[in-house]
Structure 1
């Protein structure tokens, strides 16, 4: 009897994973079929801009003291403040950098969020506590469809060609990947 129960659990798990994946695949096909182009990312950055456009836009925001270099100069850094201006402890650090194709055009944006006041002993500033706030922020920045859960605790939001993946990367960081699905799927077979 125990073997049958174990087999049933495995079978149900596989079914759940497959049904989630097929929901995701259906959503991708449906959204791409709309023909809607959502190329805007943030700070005036868009899919299809060149690497030099990326640097020039970041330079302009740097001169306005909105953007700066991130830790180790691997990312561009910005800070997001809570709407409650008296709450200075929940300030978020946003790090981002473009992903470019071989023509040096933006095809995705790699983004990481963390609380500036993060510490390993304070759960209020953990990535687990931050993830819902980042999700809410992204829904405000990119209205439209909501997020759906897919494999390995990844949340995905798709509007036309723009896909946003959201996940807890570590105890400190929430990772976001904003990508152009048109580019991704049109270049899979090349």
Structure 2
């Protein structure tokens, strides 16, 4: 029995190391490829200036697509057109370096989330959101599944300079982080 647990533990450690090795080699290959994948969503892209970002958000706000997000510190997009199993909210906001977007965070939650609605917890939202992201970002490399000590199972996609990480943040929220690896590298 002890031998079985030792072999199982060793297999788990090797698989975690393989995940990390696969991820590191994919990142190195993509960053050195010279390919650019700047598109994020709704016409927003890595390298966009803050003025362009605010203009784009204002235009989409006038069309009723975007509105003010959490505490007026984010942009809100309501996913209610059968994009997910239940109506949900996407709050997002970029980080700028030298007045250009180089990172973007987005959080997703089902609008009907409540402690008693277990079917609307983030562990149910995560696979639905991953399916949506596979349609939004269908070209390039696939999402790879990795295991993170703090966030649990996460999904990572690296295409050229763009990295997308999707993972559970807490019982209510799934967080998505975008980064321009070429800017991060500097």
Give the structure-1-normalised TM-score: 0.85
Q: CA deviation at 1:83?
A: 2.9
Q: Paired residue for 1:90?
A: 86
Q: CA deviation at 1:37?
A: 0.9
2:37 aligned with 1:38 = yes
Per-residue deviation, residues 128-165 of structure 1 (Å, max 9, x unmatched): 11101111111111112221122312210112221110
| Number of equivalenced pairs | 181
Per-residue deviation, residues 64-87 of structure 1 (Å, max 9, x unmatched): 111011121121001112438xx9
Q: Which is richer in strand?
A: 2
Q: CA deviation at 1:12?
A: 4.6
Q: Paired residue for 1:20?
A: 19
Q: Paired residue for 2:128?
A: 133
Q: Paired residue for 2:169?
A: 169
2:114 is paired with a residue whose SS is: coil
Asked if structure 2 preserves the Cα contact closer than 8 Å seen for 1:17 and 1:151, the reply is yes
Residues 68-79 of structure 1: matches in 2 within 5 Å?
A: 68-79=67-78
2:116 aligned with 1:117 = no
1:48 is paired with a residue whose SS is: coil
Asked if structure 2 preserves the Cα contact closer than 8 Å seen for 1:21 and 1:151, the reply is no
Gaps of 5+ in 2: none
Q: CA deviation at 1:7?
A: 6.8
2:154 aligned with 1:154 = yes
Partners in 1 of 2:147 and 2:181 — Cα distance? 18
Asked if structure 2 preserves the Cα contact closer than 8 Å seen for 1:82 and 1:90, the reply is no
Partners in 1 of 2:129 and 2:113 — Cα distance? 15
Partners in 2 of 1:27 and 1:150 — Cα distance? 13
The structure number with the bigger radius of gyration is: 1
